[in-house]
Amino acid sequence: MSSPQFFKEKIIFSFIVLFITLSVFMIATHANGATVTIKAVGSSVEASGEDAAFRQRAVDEALRAALKEAISRQVSSEAVIENYERLAQRFFENPLNYIDGYNVESESRAGRLYNVIITAEVDGEALADGLADVGLMKRRSHSPRVLFMIAEQNIEKTHFTYWWSWWRGAESEYRAEVVDVAASETRLKDIFASSDFYVVDPSAVTGEIEISDAYRLEDLDVTGATSFGTALGADIVVKGKAIAREGIKIAENPLGIYMADVTAAAISVEDGRVLASGRGHGVSRHISPTTGAIEALEEASEELALDLIEQIETRWSSRHSVIAVDITGLSGYAEFSDFKEIIGSRIKGVTGVYERRFSNEAAVLEVETRLTSGELAEAILKNSMGQSVEVIKTSENRLDIRIGPGR
């Protein structure tokens, strides 16, 4: 029978745990890329004087607490309660599968009761993938690569300026004058980049790239735009025009009125379809014509960017889904690399293949595609190129396959 002293210790420790839990979990946490830092408490009871594992049990409990906290930030409390058994099997039995590392910040004893406070680095991407696998999160699609091609006519200019009129691939040279006045394209790039789009920079391109001189026009057609997009590895080309002009000047007023309009369409490089289109308008008052015009162009670009982003996100995500391909039976990384290349280059309808993880004989790919998991499985079987591929299981956003010796 347990002694009164033991129950006294347990009550005291319960209050300590409650206090620490309330205080530690309310300490500000931060996200660093895909890693989330969380402080958590764990406790255990020493079963006997020879129980050497009681400290590790406290640490394990703290790791599970950190993971539960991370999950609670992604999934509603109702969903956690309804799916607790699945969550426990997937996450809590082996929490280190989703934790990059941890530090024990402090530890203390109260008789046979032991508690620790840890700081854990939770892998946000792995956690999101796991939650998607059990159906509690929608698997996120990778953001498309966007190339901007905006021809701009600023005030005091009689013609449009645009970077692709003289661009020569790896030998591209940018004229300072043109860079200075490209306010609309610069602002569009900034807003798209801050919304997690990958913005393609033509000045950073290396290697020999040939573009027909027929496409070096300000009024670029769809074929020309997609040619540039293909050459520069973009998924979407945003092409358009920006015009700035001076308004009516009031006598004896040093401030001038400047207006700008920016129109553009977002085109899918893969099939030339228009994913989004819009127009932005901006007005500025300034003593400097140059500054006033730039401010008006930036305001018009901001209005346009927000409209385009909303349309693109809706239509892009509806045209592309991400399927997790879980691969086992690999002989090594070389075979995995070959298999990844087959999916990316030989299967029509696949727009991106991303390596999620590789370990020994197993790996996980994320395949961005318009195909269903069943259609992707059939395509893989047809294009296995000598590899023996067995489909183990398919679900809405997942495909499990096993690779054996070559046929």
The structural domains of the chain, ordered by start, are: 4-133 (3.10.129), 145-318 (3.30.160.150), 321-404 (3.30.70)
Mean pLDDT of 221-249: 89
Specify the pLDDT at position 25. Answer: 43
Q: What is the mean pLDDT of the segment spanning 182-189?
A: 90
pLDDT greater than 80 at residue 4: no
Alpha carbon separation from 379 to 278, 308, 346 (Å, rounded)? 38, 34, 9
Confidence at residue 23, expressed as pLDDT on a 0 to 100 scale: 35
- The stretch 321-345 carries a mean pLDDT of 87
Closest CA to 206 of 173, 166, 172: 172
Q: Phi/psi of residue 68, each to 5°?
A: -60, -40
Q: Does pTM top 0.85 for this prediction?
A: no
Strands, sheet with 145-153, edge to edge from the N-terminal-most edge strand = 198-199, 145-153, 236-246, 256-268, 274-286
222, 273 contact by CB (below 8 A): no
Express each pLDDT in 259-313 by its tens digit: 999 999 999 987 788 999 999 999 999 989 889 999 999 999 999 999 999 898 8
Q: What is the average per-residue pLDDT within 363-369?
A: 87
Q: What per-residue confidence (pLDDT) applies to 257? A: 92
Mean per-residue pLDDT for 112-129?
86
pLDDT at 2 over 90: no
Q: What is the mean pLDDT of residues 148-169?
A: 81
Average pLDDT over residues 122-146: 73
User: What pLDDT is recorded for position 109?
Assistant: 86
Distance CA 142, CA 103 (A): 32
Say which residue, 171 or 402, is predicted with more confidence.
Answer: 402
Distances (CA, A) of 291 to 65, 283, 287, 336, 373: 54, 12, 8, 54, 53
Other Cβ atoms less than 10 A from the Cβ of 366: the count is 20
The pLDDT of residue 185: 93
| Averaged pLDDT of the chain | 79
Tell me how far apart the alpha carbons of residues 322 and 337 are, in angstroms, rounded to a whole number. Answer: 19
What pLDDT score does 333 carry?
A: 87
Q: What is the distance between the alpha carbons of residues 269 and 224, in angstroms, rounded to a whole number?
A: 10
Stretch 146-166: mean pLDDT: 85
Contacts by 260-263 with C-beta closer than 8 Å and gap 24+?
Answer: 260/184, 260/284, 260/293, 260/296, 260/297, 260/299, 260/300, 261/300, 262/150, 262/184, 262/188, 262/297, 262/300, 262/301, 262/304, 263/304
Give kind and range of the element (H or E) at residue 239: strand 236-246
pLDDT given at position 350: 85
For residue 166, the one-letter residue type is W
Of 6-10, 345-349, 383-387, the one with minimum mean pLDDT is: 6-10
Are the beta carbons of 243 and 153 closer than 8 angstroms?
Answer: yes
What local confidence, expressed as pLDDT, does residue 15 receive?
41
Mean pLDDT of 60-75: 87
The CA distance from 327 to 337, in Å, is: 12
Report for 86-100, 163-177, 380-394: range of highest mean pLDDT: 86-100
Is the pLDDT at 228 greater than 50, yes or no? yes
- Residue 216 CA, distance from chain mean position: 33
Banded model confidence at residue 174, pLDDT cuts 50, 70, 90? very low
Is 52 exposed, middle or buried (CB count within 10 Å of its CB: 0-12, 13-18, 19+)? Answer: exposed
Percent of the chain with pLDDT over 70: 79
pLDDT bracket for residue 178 (50, 70, 90): very low
> Cα torsion for 175, 176, 177, 178, to the nearest 10°?
60
